Structure 1
């Protein structure tokens, strides 16, 4: 048995220890402590605390994402072409992680309250540093092993850790900010100092976790320097055109991340103005957005073996849509909305579907990388992750623009910390339930076109290793 394992590992099908799996997953935990805080609460901070107009913030979010469209392929190309002494991919966990933490903290500093220029500089800086960490981190997954079962386990651990970060953000941020705030709230100008201290705590913890991920990640499936010398930015578009599974995954990312960005950024508004909830109740509601991960993500390998990955997407995307429908019904009936536990149940059901479906999609990235290597002979992991990064940030752009525009359209009053008009409340409800549900229906159609089954991808990986051994 040991001999068979050694033979398998010699062909690139490496097995990782649990410390290595957790170490790799800690990278996503770290990034989520920072980026989930940005995604969930920066809009609320900008409008109610920093003092910007929702429509102005929407335009800024769009412009920053356009900057990412130019920046991501440059990072992906640079990463594929260079091999730093600290590691081809893992070195950027430290090199990019330090400035990422700094810019994230500055995003929540109220020292230049109302300054659009300051908001642009800090948000653009944070986003560019996030790419410098996230693109190599995404490529790191495919460099650890070719084994599809191991990648499934790695993805489950990664998503478990990512949602641990999401839970720490969604549940912890409102409570800590309210505790540190002089008025005990999260959405007034008096709360600026509390937001700054809270983000500083989370960002520094994230930096430590990135260093831990760096120490536990060992790259063993990478191209040599001769193969990477010819990598160029245009490879990104060439790969997109000839790699059909990559195109399908890219469009799935757009819809999935748009759905998550819209729902996450609107959740705090929903609890404050629609439910009239306390900071603690908001924390519980937002926390339930991540809590199902600790029940269902460990079960993903078994669920996938039982029903297949495409059926798994169908089932859990359907569960998410059902949960959104239930949350809408609960919210439009005052007698039900006043029963906070029913709101929590609807949020839990919705989140269960979203977490499993969007969590497992990361396991498909190494598959499309292998498919590209099989058809072209080059394993350009950085380029592929830059391309998927462009599309998920396109989804984030859509998700960032829509809430600001909707809030502006429905006449959201940023100076009112307690209540909004009925029209504004319904606009918030559309952001939480209706628009995300429509996007998930589109996501179901897109993923139905994905054709790389486990059997197909295993055969592809075996063929690649046969070629490598001949060389």
Structure 2
């Protein structure tokens, strides 16, 4: 009887996924994070201390790149929804976009045109556009695997586990490899340029192999009919945003979440080198940004069942803010500042909250896609992921421009690889703790407006499938 029920549900799009399928899908996020996290954590310090451009110029460039994304993302979303490549509607871009993305990622960390803003702009804009060409269809691929909310939760847990494995490989591994390859053993000096290039080459090639693995082990099952995709256009993005209330809530949460992560990640290197003055501990500090995922992400399905999705957000956002308060207090109290182990504890607490809250938000994307299909009759996964992409890149834009402008305001000396003024150290602390905590408070308010509880979205999904049977 159970087998018959399961088969009936699967015929309605409520597919059960194997462990290999979850790992296969998650490997796509692992691959992207080998590049995304390297850019998020280290590109700013590479540009200022190695490549040789000012913090203000780098911050403005990050903003310009995000503005380009605002135009580019909906074009990609509409193109993906309209197109039906033979290699797969969404999964084909993992390979087709992955190959050139690998090349641009490597070029971004090449010091051959040191100090050239033109070169930095061309390579970073190219990298960002190609990242979108993979990330938008990859996000849509999530919603095409199944409608089952429990399976989506498990899939998201596996995805975030793998994504944070990528974050760990970057946070811990990149500074160690760069230090090992650098002639002076530093990551923030002009002499470390070749070391950065070699390191990024290794990480980018591994990422490409993982994208191919993801392509081979995913199968699209819940997609629009080809006759319906012909009607998709870029303007559908704004129509969807106007009529899809849950999507608006999620989009604004994406802004605050990614701004918080981008600001904190980019400031982490500066914080450990200049405030804590323990560059040798930097790999461990960065690794703690990912390690909690391996403890808590497998528990997310059980936690959500026990307390509900919104309460889970509230609990873990509060934990993250608590960790940021700990970092701030430790850094301003002289007797605590020298206790590096306390810094690592605070980072673990902060990262635990951030990882669960920002990890689970991806499970809400298929929900808002289904809600949009329920309300309009169109399952435009690419468009929805392009829209969420615009908002999370808006968050990344804040995360890129704010650190650069704050560092410029406090008089950061890019030529000093050892020490900064007290005011500059204070500015770095703002970036590590104060500004991210304020953004999380805003995020907590935003997510309180989300209305799609599990029973509601399950009912919506069943009604959609019943329509298709008529």
- Report the TM-score range of the alignment, normalised by the length of the smaller protein: over 0.9
Aligned to 2:204: 203
CA distance in 2 between partners of 1:333 and 1:47 (Å) = 29
Aligned to 1:368: 368
Aligned to 1:459: 459
Aligned to 2:344: 344
Matched, 1:107 2:108: yes
Shift of 1:36: 0.4
Aligned to 1:42: 43
Superposition pairs of residues 55-74 of structure 1, within 5 angstroms: 55-74=56-75
Shift of 1:337: 1.5
Give SS of 1:141's match.
helix
Shift of 1:4: 1.2
Aligned to 1:449: 449
Give SS of 2:233's match.
coil
Aligned to 1:168: 169
Aligned to 2:220: 219
CA distance in 2 between partners of 1:441 and 1:169 (Å) = 28
Shift of 1:333: 1.3
Runs of 4 or more, structure 1, over 2 Å off, are: none
Shift of 1:3: 1.2
Q: CA deviation digits over 1:158-212, x for unaligned, max 9?
A: 0000000000000000110000000001000000000000000000000000000
Q: CA deviation digits over 1:223-280, x for unaligned, max 9?
A: 011111110000000000000000000000000000000000000000000011133x
Matched, 1:380 2:380: yes
CA distance in 2 between partners of 1:430 and 1:13 (Å) = 46
Matched, 1:86 2:87: yes
Aligned to 2:294: 294
Give SS of 1:292's match.
helix
Q: CA deviation digits over 1:22-59, x for unaligned, max 9?
A: 00000000000011000100000000000000000011
Question: Normalising by structure 2, what TM-score?
Answer: 0.99
Give SS of 2:455's match.
helix
CA distance in 1 between partners of 2:178 and 2:396 (Å) = 25
Superposition pairs of residues 283-362 of structure 1, within 5 angstroms: 283-362=283-362
Q: CA RMSD in A?
A: 0.4
Question: Normalising by structure 1, what TM-score?
Answer: 0.99
CA distance in 1 between partners of 2:136 and 2:370 (Å) = 17
Q: Which runs of 5+ in 2 are unaligned?
A: none
Superposition pairs of residues 384-395 of structure 1, within 5 angstroms: 384-395=384-395
Superposition pairs of residues 224-243 of structure 1, within 5 angstroms: 224-243=225-244
Shift of 1:154: 0.2
Q: CA deviation digits over 1:411-438, x for unaligned, max 9?
A: 0000000000000000000000000000
Shift of 1:348: 0.2
Q: Which runs of 5+ in 1 are unaligned?
A: none
Shift of 1:220: 0.4
Shift of 1:334: 2.1
CA distance in 2 between partners of 1:312 and 1:278 (Å) = 35
Matched, 1:250 2:283: no
Aligned to 2:421: 421
Superposition pairs of residues 2-151 of structure 1, within 5 angstroms: 2-151=3-152
Aligned to 2:194: 193
CA distance in 2 between partners of 1:66 and 1:181 (Å) = 34
CA distance in 2 between partners of 1:172 and 1:403 (Å) = 23
CA distance in 2 between partners of 1:294 and 1:427 (Å) = 32
Shift of 1:335: 1.7
Give SS of 2:77's match.
helix
CA distance in 2 between partners of 1:5 and 1:311 (Å) = 30
CA distance in 1 between partners of 2:399 and 2:39 (Å) = 13
CA distance in 2 between partners of 1:349 and 1:171 (Å) = 17
Q: CA deviation digits over 1:116-150, x for unaligned, max 9?
A: 00000000000000000000000000000000000
Give SS of 2:188's match.
coil
CA distance in 2 between partners of 1:167 and 1:254 (Å) = 23
